[in-house]
Structure 1
């Protein structure tokens, strides 16, 4: 099994992996997705990496280094998706280990992520297979209006 990792940086590379990212982020059309990735790369240090087996894209991970008073220096995993036809083959764990190594090599002390409340299979994966623990609830307000 020939597994390779690739940083996806150009607009063309980002666009090419949209069909897989769309499995995780179906609310984004291709243009909005590309625009958001490029902006996040430029402004937030977002990195998008693809895992390829025998040259075929199997999984993606998007992450960014952050510093907060709560976590200190850490890496936030924003996106993690394995192609629906390739799930449970270890690609997600491989990607998380890769990011953990990146974080360690760049003097970050932890890796954190959030997962939707309904994604119970993902929660089981993070806790049982990847060794992550639940640290908090994430709250969000989307209807921002001037008051």
Structure 2
């Protein structure tokens, strides 16, 4: 029988345990940079990193942060959401995103927003069809 738990990762060791899964989404990051960025975001931007564990194995992770902007008001920005490529289509991403939605609602946030790469067609289908998210804008980026 599968035992599913969701846990916030806060220590350096816990954050490191999630790297193999996060690396599947953030391929450009090495382990050291990943840990530094997560710790910095946790200390300075209220970033939270959660893991969904199946029988003590991290199979999916989500990173998010509470924000306030004039466009969205009080909202949650989902920075990262990925399920291990060998464990996809089992509802793990949906469980994590639903968990964050519930947390947001209980803490008086008005909405959840995220960005997804143009090439990630399966992710777009997941957000729109499974999670009932609306496509509301494009995200633009300029590297400095």
TM-score, normalised to structure 1, is: 0.96
Tell me, yes or no, if structure 1 residue 130 matches structure 2 residue 131.
Answer: yes
Question: Counterparts in 2 of 1:93-108, with a 5 A limit?
Answer: 93-108=94-109
Aligned-residue offset at 1:56: 1.4
RMSD between aligned alpha carbons? 0.6
Gaps of 5+ in 2: none
Aligned residue in 2 for 1:115: 116
Aligned-residue offset at 1:57: 1.1
Aligned-residue offset at 1:85: 0.3
Question: Counterparts in 2 of 1:40-59, with a 5 A limit?
Answer: 40-59=41-60
Gaps of 5+ in 1: none
TM-score, normalised to structure 2, is: 0.98
Aligned-residue offset at 1:116: 0.1
Aligned residue in 2 for 1:14: 15
Q: For 2:4 and 2:53, how far apart are their aligned partners in 1?
A: 6
Aligned residues: 143
Tell me, yes or no, if structure 1 residue 62 matches structure 2 residue 63.
Answer: yes
SS of the residue 1:112 aligns to? strand
Q: For 1:43 and 1:65, how far apart are their aligned partners in 2?
A: 12
Aligned-residue offset at 1:53: 1.2
Aligned-residue offset at 1:80: 0.1
